[in-house]
């Protein structure tokens, strides 16, 4: 349907001056009158289509108001692989093509291994730098890069982003392969243009010194979408700043969540200004390899995907969150094309709020918003539907503390009280209550509500949304500050039950983990996000646990040392080890050795592993609480 037009039928006998005043009050104007049938074609502001239709329908001056629906000749793309591209109808991409197939004005930057730019299904979709004259050996646009006509190789410093791996060629085809050329596949946004930015060396590594300049290049060239089918654990402040730069310049960064079947956050997907994408199969089940957790925003098809390959070829088996990422990126390109002038925030909100929810045992809600649905997202960005996802609290940080005295002469400040979740954005009205009394709100956005802690004595802390209490948690007074795991996972075929709510305090509600029948161990990996204390004098672990069917096993607790390298290339430090018996519940503690800040990454995340060896059949770990105690 047209993004800014309505067809309005004035009521019989409606006063012309009153009707004109109605149009003006709604910020609309009449494009054309159709006196033969008594209708008018009216234009309204972008993003207000559904509301204005409702406003007209509610007026006694109007008999009817309808959307300006599109019609198109019915056909199937003639690309031979189309019939096997399950991802397209599954995301309702084919129905969105009735409205838009992308636009040459919507640039998608693909930061990857390079691309075979001569591929017959890609050559026509390549962006051409309007500021450069090809092959004249001159930096015509004065950007410091010579002849960057259709991309750049940030590894070798040249204008040939060739692809030794095929990975970038595959991702580019998913997004923008030419449609209706009687060969190969079709891209999701075939009329959009992509720029290939090579950031992977011949050994398969994407160094920060390659990726960060590529991000800046994409933003400076006006890219609306940035597709990043790579992931790593280490936070790079320069990369985070570059992602923020892209966002501030109107781009939507989209990144693969990673393929390790873990909940620990990976980057760039876990940055707040990145849309993190997990992978699902054609039955809407989480791909066995896909990461998940509080930092994964949406999911998209990531198994058995048809894609372009070097040598002018094709594959029907491209997989991984590397495939899910360009699927989501292609849909984002369609949305930008459908509503020229749409902001990155509007497109992101449309993708997220319209996603189809995913709730799968034993993972639960494994992507915050669900799987991408292009048709529903289009309706949202056009303004023909509205509303956000039902609000959910994923975790609170910190969960207690604040009683430690401040050393004389020390500059320190209390961390904000943070509720992290989904559906907190304006115009929702939020309040944070401490034993029923409101606390000052410091910040509010889609995922975070910040408030002042106030008194540090034990209390009930509630998040209220639109006058209804969404979640009440108990704040525990303690020396220093207490933080609980935001995410937890184990190794298949073992299973877990519970999460933040079961782990944040001793209350009899327990997180459980079963034995891995293959290794005869119990294994739990915990991520504690948003640990924000400065300065830090020391960190302790505190946990309350019990075991069943685990006599004679050895429990080992390790914390990742970020100074030793990015995960998994660095080291975990063992802070606790002891024999296990089927005794009553124990309250345990361990201090982290050395400089405590080495156990937190620059985003304030700690990784902890609990491994219990020699677990018997039906062995079970029950954790009543697990907390990081920061002094």
Q: Is 148 a catalytic residue?
A: no
Tell me the backbone φ, ψ of residue 8, rounded to 5 degrees.
-120, 130
Strands 511-514 and 554-561: unpaired
> Cα separations (Å) of 151 from 33, 114, 211, 477?
48, 9, 14, 56
Task: Kindly name the residue from 55, 79, 94, 112 that is annotated as catalytic.
Answer: 112
Hey, what are 41's tokens?
């074609």
Secondary element (H or E) of residue 17: helix 16-25
598 DSSP 8-state letter: G
Question: Of 288, 301, 325, 334, whose CA–CA distance to 167 is shortest?
Answer: 325
Residue where the block lists tokens 């979640």:
471
- Residue 612: CB atoms within 10 A of its CB come to 23
Q: Where are the beta strands (DSSP E) in 343-391?
A: 370-371
Hey, what are 372's tokens?
């991408």
Residue where the block lists tokens 């609480």:
625
Binning the chain into helix, strand and coil, the percentages to the nearest 5 are 20, 30, 50
Tell me the backbone φ, ψ of residue 556, rounded to 5 degrees.
-125, 130
- Residue 495: CB atoms within 10 A of its CB come to 14
Q: Is 167 a catalytic residue?
A: yes
The rounded distance, in Å, linking the Cα atoms of 182 and 309 is: 17
Q: Where are the beta strands (DSSP E) in 146-230?
A: 151-153, 193-198, 225-228
Q: Is the Cβ–Cβ distance between 330 and 404 less than 8 Å?
A: no
CA 53 to chain centroid = 32
Q: Is 322 a catalytic residue?
A: yes
Hey, what are 479's tokens?
């020396």
Task: Kindly name the residue from 167, 273, 447, 629 that is annotated as catalytic.
Answer: 167
33 DSSP 8-state letter: E
Residue where the block lists tokens 């697990």:
626
> Cα separations (Å) of 588 from 27, 545, 557, 575, 578?
64, 8, 11, 12, 11
Strands 459-465 and 430-434: antiparallel
Task: Kindly name the residue from 322, 388, 462, 625 that is annotated as catalytic.
Answer: 322
> Cα separations (Å) of 214 from 88, 146, 235, 430?
29, 15, 17, 38
Tell me the backbone φ, ψ of residue 96, rounded to 5 degrees.
-70, -30
Question: Of 168, 167, 165, 185, whose CA–CA distance to 177 is shortest?
Answer: 185
SS3 (DSSP) at 483: strand
What are the catalytic residues?
112, 167, 322
């Amino acid at each position: 349907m047209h993004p800014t037009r309505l067809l309005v039928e004035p009521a019989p006998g409606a006063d012309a001056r009153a009707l004109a005043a109605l149009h003006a009050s709604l910020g609309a104007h009449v494009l054309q009158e159709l006196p033969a049938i008594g209708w008018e074609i009216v234009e309204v502001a972008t993003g207000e289509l559904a509301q204005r239709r409702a406003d007209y329908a509610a007026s006694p001056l109007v008999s009817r108001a309808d959307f300006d629906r599109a019609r198109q000749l019915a056909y199937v793309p003639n690309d031979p692989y189309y019939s096997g591209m399950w991802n397209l109808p599954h995301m309702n991409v084919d129905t969105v093509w009735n409205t838009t197939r992308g636009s040459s004005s919507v640039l998608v930057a693909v930061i990857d291994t390079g691309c075979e730019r001569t591929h017959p299904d890609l050559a026509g979709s390549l962006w051409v730098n309007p500021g450069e004259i090809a092959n004249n050996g001159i930096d015509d646009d004065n950007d410091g890069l010579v002849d960057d006509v259709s991309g750049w190789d940030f590894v070798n410093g040249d204008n040939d982003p060739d692809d030794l791996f095929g990975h970038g060629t595959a991702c580019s085809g998913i997004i923008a392969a030419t449609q209706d050329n009687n060969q190969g596949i079709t891209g999701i946004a075939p009329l959009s243009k992509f720029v290939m930015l090579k950031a992977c060396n011949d050994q398969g590594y994407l160094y920060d010194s390659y990726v960060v300049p590529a991000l800046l290049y994409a933003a400076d060239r006006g890219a609306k979408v940035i597709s990043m089918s790579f992931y790593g654990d280490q936070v790079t402040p320069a990369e985070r700043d570059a992602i923020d730069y892209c966002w501030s310049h109107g781009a939507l960064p989209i990144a693969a969540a990673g393929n390790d079947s873990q909940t620990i956050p990976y980057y760039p997907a876990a940055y707040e200004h990145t849309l993190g994408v997990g992978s699902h199969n054609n039955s809407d089940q989480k791909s066995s390899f896909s990461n998940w957790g509080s930092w994964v925003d949406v999911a998209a098809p990531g198994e058995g995907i048809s894609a372009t390959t070097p040598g002018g070829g094709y594959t029907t088996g491209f997989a991984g969150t590397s495939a899910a990422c360009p699927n989501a990126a292609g849909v984002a390109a369609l949305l930008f094309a459908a509503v020229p002038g749409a902001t990155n925030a509007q497109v992101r909100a449309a993708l997220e709020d319209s996603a189809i929810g995913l709730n799968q045992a034993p993972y639960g809600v494994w992507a915050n918003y669900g799987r991408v649905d292009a048709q529903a997202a289009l309706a949202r960005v056009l303004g023909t539907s509205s509303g956000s996802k039902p609000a959910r609290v994923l975790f609170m940080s910190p969960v207690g503390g604040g009683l430690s005295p401040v050393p004389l002469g020390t500059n320190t400040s209390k961390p904000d009280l943070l509720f992290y979740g989904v559906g907190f954005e304006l115009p929702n009205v939020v309040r944070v209550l401490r034993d029923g009394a409101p606390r000052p709100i410091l910040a509010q956005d889609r995922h975070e509500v910040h408030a002042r802690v106030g008194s540090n004595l034990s209390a009930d802390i509630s998040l209220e949304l639109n006058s209804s209490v969404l979640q009440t948690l108990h704040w525990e007074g303690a020396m220093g500050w207490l933080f609980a795991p935001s995410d937890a996972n184990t190794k298949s075929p073992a299973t877990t039950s519970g999460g933040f709510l079961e782990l944040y305090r001793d209350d009899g509600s327990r997180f459980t983990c079963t034995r891995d029948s293959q290794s005869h161990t119990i294994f739990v990996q915990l991520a504690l996000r948003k640990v924000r204390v400065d300065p830090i004098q020391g960190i302790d672990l505190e946990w309350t646990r019990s075991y069943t069917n685990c006599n004679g096993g050895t429990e080992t607790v390790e914390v990742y040392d970020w100074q030793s390298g990015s995960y998994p290339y660095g080291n975990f430090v063992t802070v606790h080890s002891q024999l296990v018996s089927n005794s009553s519940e124990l309250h345990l503690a361990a201090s982290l050795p050395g400089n405590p800040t080495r156990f937190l990454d620059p985003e304030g995340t700690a990784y902890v592993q609990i491994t219990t060896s020699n677990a018997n059949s039906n062995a079970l770990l029950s954790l009543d609480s697990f907390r990081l105690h920061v002094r």
